[in-house]
Amino acid sequence: MKDMKILFINPCLRKKSAYKMLPVGLAYIMTVVHEHGYDFDLLDIDINEYSDEYVENFLKENQYDVVAYGSIVTHYKWIKWLTHAVRRVQPKAKIVVGNSVAGSCYEVFLANAPADVVVIGEGEYVCLDVFNAIASGTSLSGVEGIAFRDDNGEIVKTAKRKACAINDLPMINWEFFDVPRYLETSRGKLAFGVDDDNSLAMPVATARGCINKCTFCHYVFWDDPYRFRSPEKILAEVRRNMESYGASFINFWDDLSFAALPQVEMMVEAILESGLQFKWSAAIRTDLLGDPSKPYERRLAVARKMKEAGCTTVGFSLESGNREILAMMKKRVKIEYFAEQIRVLKEVGIASNVSVIFGYPIETRETIWETVNMCLENGVYPSMGYLLPLPYTEMYRYARENGYIPDEDKFLTSITERQDICLNMTQMSDAEISAEIKKAAQRANEVLHLGLDEGKLLKTGGYKRHTNKEEQLKKEKRMIDPDNLERNENDFSFNYSQVSFGEK
């Protein structure tokens, strides 16, 4: 093994969570760098729920050359704390931070946290190149896909690294993690649509990215093309997970598992031919099985094959039942697709896991009820959340331009989850919009006879509510123009795509 002491840290996004999910992204990075000769330690805060005090003491007592970690951008506050904590007790260590918590806002992050390197985009081979540069003492300027501070303290962003061929990635080595403990925490909880309290679920990544770029959305692979693994590679990993860890349910852990009917057909045929008996869930769009331009019998036949191959649940988004808001989101789907897809899935017995977003600038009481009523008409209770403008999205740019986010670091430090009102850009007050959504959720709970406790109406519940102190500004802001949305470079001068965002 190469002579450099490396520590990977797996953060805990939600303390006291009902279950823990194995970290696919971190595991891929660890697998790749290990296969290229690097040994390392892992501080798994998530499964152990270590306190901040424990983490800081661990860092004091164990010195490293490199400390690497990442998370999603809603974890910004804690990741910033961690970065300062590492720097306080390990002043000579190189700190490498990835995922959207830093990659989507690298200038803001580097200006407010003493990290050395930010990984932008997918991290497996970028991290490997960073480690190689540190180990050899060569300049980071030759490493593609990062941002860093040079010797003059200036922030430098290097050229984008070409997306990797995900079919060539090695199979995740889960032996770095305490897999039995992870699986035990989720026993019977992640096998969606399966009535078995003893089922063990594991994640398997089948694809990266998405075919669309919605105005509220950001994902790590934003500037990369949509890619999916071969059924052979996927099923080899599924077989390993079943034989080595006793997994009986597989969560296809993707932003978008299937983008087209032929892709689904190829996968389900391979599952059926393999003889593997397992249940699974996947992420799709409403146009996969709901687009009426594709023959109904064809869509129904594919759904039946999915069911036969073990699919129990698919996740997809309505997002809004209002046509104007859907156009602002640039979903590139029609509202009618939602009901049509629900119809197909009900016909074959596959459950729907649906999400919606409230809080676009033109949201009103009427549009809230349009969305909820559409769900009720189709017999589904959605996961509800508020619009949360994330760095490097069109809605974040809109919020910045209209004065809702005067201080990016302060805003990013304040955000939590989509179930909280972190920023309200509607013409309703925080109290008005939250009361209306609560009323709608209660109505859905009654109509669908779910018996949910009040604290669970927004699914996750229990998060601290945030107040928008700049609320008085919103009455003065111009309304968003759905015909004039572009994916422009953010104020902190970085743009993944360098292309316009959807159709003008």
Q: What is the pLDDT of residue 119?
A: 98
Q: What is the model's pLDDT at position 1?
A: 60
Q: For residue 390, how many other CB atoms are within 10 A of its CB?
A: 22
Q: Are residues 79 and 223 both part of a single domain? A: no
- Could you give the CA distance from residue 375 to residue 154 in angstroms, rounded to a whole number? 50
316 and 412 co-located in one domain:
yes
For 157, the 3-state DSSP assignment is: strand
Which of 141, 157, 173 is a domain's end point? 157
Residue 173 lies in a domain: no
With a cut of 70, say whether residue 81 has pLDDT above it.
Answer: yes
The H or E element that residue 148 is part of is strand 146-149
| pLDDT score, position 459 | 56
Instruction: Looking at mean pLDDT, say which of 20-24, 186-190, 457-461 comes out highest.
Output: 20-24
Round to whole Å and give the CA distance between 179 and 318: 34
**How many residues does this entry show for the chain?**
504
Q: Would 503 be classed as within a structural domain?
A: no
Statement to judge: residues 150 and 239 lie in one domain: no
Residue among 78, 29, 31, 3 nearest 86 (CA) = 78
- CATH number, domain at 417? 3.80.30.20
Q: Give 135-163 pLDDT, tens digit per residue.
A: 999 999 999 999 999 988 899 999 999 99
Is the domain of 301 the same as that of 402? yes
223 and 347 co-located in one domain: yes
Take residue 58 and report the two structure tokens written for it. 């661990």
Question: What is residue 28's three-state secondary structure?
Answer: helix
Stretch (H or E) spanning 27: helix 24-35
Does residue 465 register a pLDDT over 80?
Answer: no
User: Which residues, at least 6 apart from 167, have a Cβ–Cβ distance to it below 8 Å?
Assistant: 229, 230, 233
Q: Is residue 488 part of a domain?
A: no
Secondary structure (DSSP) of 425-487: -SSS-HHHHHHHHHHHHHHHHHHTT----GGGTTSS--PPP---TTGGGGGGSPPP-TTS---
Residues 105 and 196 in one domain: no
DSSP 161: P
* pLDDT score recorded for residue 397: 96
Q: Are residues 153 and 267 in the same domain?
A: no
Would residue 263 count as lying in a domain?
Answer: yes
Cβ atoms of residues 174 and 200 within 8 Å: no
17, 74, 126, 31: CA torsion to nearest 10: 0
CB contact at 8 A, 341 and 316? yes
Are residue 216 and residue 330 in the same domain, yes or no? yes
Range of the domain at 72: 6-157
Structure confidence by residue, pLDDT tens digits, 28-74: 999 999 999 999 999 999 999 999 999 999 999 999 999 999 999 99
Shared domain for 251 and 285, answered yes or no, is yes
Please report, as a single letter, which amino acid is at residue 258. F
Which of 109, 139, 157 is the last residue before a domain boundary? 157
The DSSP H or E segment spanning 279 is strand 279-283
Are residue 222 and residue 304 in the same domain, yes or no?
yes
Maximum C-alpha span of the chain: 65
Strand (E) or helix (H) holding 76:
helix 76-89
* Position 224 pLDDT exceeds 90: no
- When pLDDT is cut at 50, 70 and 90, the band that residue 251 belongs to is very high
Residue 452 falls within a domain, yes or no? yes
Mean pLDDT computed over 485-502: 27
d(CA 182, CA 374): 37
Same domain for 372 and 327: yes
Contact yes or no for 153/107 (Cβ under 8 A): no
- Distances 345 to 262, 288, 303, 316, 492 between C-alpha atoms, Å: 17, 11, 7, 12, 44
Q: Where are the beta strands (DSSP E) in 323-458?
A: 351-358, 383-386
Average pLDDT, integer, range 16-20: 87
pLDDT, average across residues 339-344: 98
Residue 270 lies in a domain: yes
Is the domain of 71 the same as that of 208? no
Distance of CA 468 to the CA centre of its chain: 24
Q: What is the pTM of this model?
A: 0.89
Query: CA 6, CA 387: separation in Å to the nearest integer?
Result: 38
Element (H, E) at 316: strand 311-319
CB 280 within 8 A of CB 312: yes
Give the separation between CA 150 and CA 155, rounded to whole angstroms: 6
Q: Which two structure tokens, joined as six digits, stand for 245?
A: 């860890």
**Number of other residues whose CB lies within 10 A of the CB of residue 354:** 23
Q: How many domains does the chain have?
A: 2
**Over residues 408-433, mean pLDDT:** 95
Is the pLDDT at 491 greater than 70, yes or no? no
- Report which residue type is found at 100: S
The encoded tokens of residue 81 equal: 């704390």
Which amino acid appears at position 361 of this protein? P
CA dihedral 89, 91, 94, 99 (to 10 degrees): 50
Q: What is the pLDDT of residues 349-369, one digit of tens each?
A: 999 999 999 999 999 999 999
DSSP class of residue 228 equals E
Q: Is the pLDDT of residue 482 over 60?
A: no
CATH code of the domain containing 151: 3.40.50.280
User: Is the pLDDT confidence value at 489 over 50?
Assistant: no
Is 487 part of a structural domain of the chain? Answer: no
Distance CA 103, CA 124 (A): 14
Q: What per-residue confidence (pLDDT) applies to 15?
A: 86
Residue 327 falls inside a structural domain: yes
Q: Bigger pLDDT: 206 or 492? A: 206
Helix (H) or strand (E) holding 377: helix 365-377
